[in-house]
Amino acid sequence: MMPSAIPLEWYLIVGFLLFAIGVVGVLVRRSIIMVLLSIELMLNSANITFIAYAYYLQNITGQIMVFFILMMAAAEVALGLALVIALYRVRATLNVDEINLLKW
Amino acid sequence: MIPQALFFYFAGMTVLSAVVAIVSRNLIFSALSLLVTFIHIAGLYILLHAEFVAAVQIIVYAGAILVLYLFVLMLFNPKSESFYLHRQFPIAIFLGVVLCGLMVLSVFRTEILGHLPTAVKTTVRGLQQSMGNTQMIGNALYTDFIFPFEIASFILLVGLIGAILLAGRHLDRKQ
């Protein structure tokens, strides 16, 4: 076993707490920028889980996956904020309750 | 003893500043406490012997993504935010607690923790003594993962062009 004093479960619990906080943030906040920030939190919790398993399973693939998640997060933020700016030009609001153009 | 203390500091600050980011009414405070979260997550990565990922986390998340958020926030003048919480927030908090409880339960009920693989060749610690973390990541990224790497560069190109097209000035011409 690893000579580490910290069990894997602790890292997993931190990641899961972050994920739950991100889910609550997406559901609770009404500003669309805060929804995007909460999605960042959820991506980071996935990253923590990947890195923890990469260390405890002694496999470098988990760290490689974090790079691809990071790349995806960067592209998502650029596109998401561009969409927010375009939306603000058209509707002049950031409230997700008022953005109901496609609501059924 | 010292690793546990460091772990509790980094984990506690991560969760605490994430909660502050969610409940803070001011969007600038939210973004700044998210910066604290990202930096402490990088500390967790260093505890897990992923030094290169920790550096990339600070450079990309704290340096690039957060700055992008702050630019957009400054653009929108968030002091005029008159809406804060959605009316469904008790249900949302209940759902979050249930989700977290289920995931923590699944941690303690699965057997995967006991099975360390024996056939894995690219070990973290075994190779780290001879190569180092960065060299090992480069070795894996440019040999086994070269095709996903190219796909990643293409996705970044799509993000670049899409952001320019979406946020560009061509929308104003329609008015």
Q: Could you read off the pLDDT of B27-40 as tens digits, one per residue?
A: 888 999 999 999 99
User: In Å, what is the CA distance from B107 to each residue of A4, A49, A60, A103?
Assistant: 19, 11, 22, 38
DSSP state of B83: -
Which residue in B has a C-alpha nearest to residue A88's C-alpha? B76
pLDDT band with cut points at 50, 70 and 90 for residue B121:
very low
Residue A52 lies inside a defined structural domain of this protein: yes
* Chain A hits for B104, Cβ within 8 Å: 13, 16
Half-sphere CA count of A80, side-chain side, radius 13 A:
19
Residue A45 lies inside a defined structural domain of this protein: yes
Q: What is the pLDDT along chain A (104 residues), one digit of tens a residue?
A: 444 578 888 899 999 999 999 999 998 888 888 899 999 999 999 999 999 988 888 888 889 999 999 999 999 999 999 999 888 888 877 888 888 878 77
Calculate mean pLDDT across residues B51-62: 91
Q: CB–CB of A19 and B140 under 8 A? A: no
CB B10 within 8 A of CB B17: no
Residue A47 lies inside a defined structural domain of this protein: yes
Residue A96 lies inside a defined structural domain of this protein: no
* Chain B hits for A28, Cβ within 8 Å: 22, 85-86, 88-89, 92-93
Q: CB–CB of A47 and B41 under 8 A? A: yes
CB A87 within 8 A of CB A32: yes
CB A19 within 8 A of CB B99: yes
Query: ipTM of the predicted structure?
Result: 0.89
**Minimal Cβ distance to B22: which of A12, A25, A97:** A25
Q: Tell me the residue range of the domain where A46 lies.
A: 8-91
Residue A100 lies inside a defined structural domain of this protein: no
Residue A87 lies inside a defined structural domain of this protein: yes
Task: Say which CATH number the domain at A44 has.
Answer: 1.10.287.3510
User: Which of A2, A58, A83 to substitute to test the interface with B, most B CBs within 10 Å?
Assistant: A58
Distance CA B69, CA A81 (A): 8
B140-157 confidence digits (pLDDT tens): 889 889 999 999 999 999
**Minimal Cβ distance to B156: which of A20, A75, A85:** A75
Domains of chain B, CATH where assigned? 1-81 (1.20.120.1200), 123-170 (no CATH)
Closest CA to B66 of A42, A41, A31, A22: A41
Which stretches within chain B are classed as H helix? Answer: 2-23, 27-47, 51-56, 66-76, 89-109, 124-128, 133-141, 146-167
Domains of chain A: total: 1
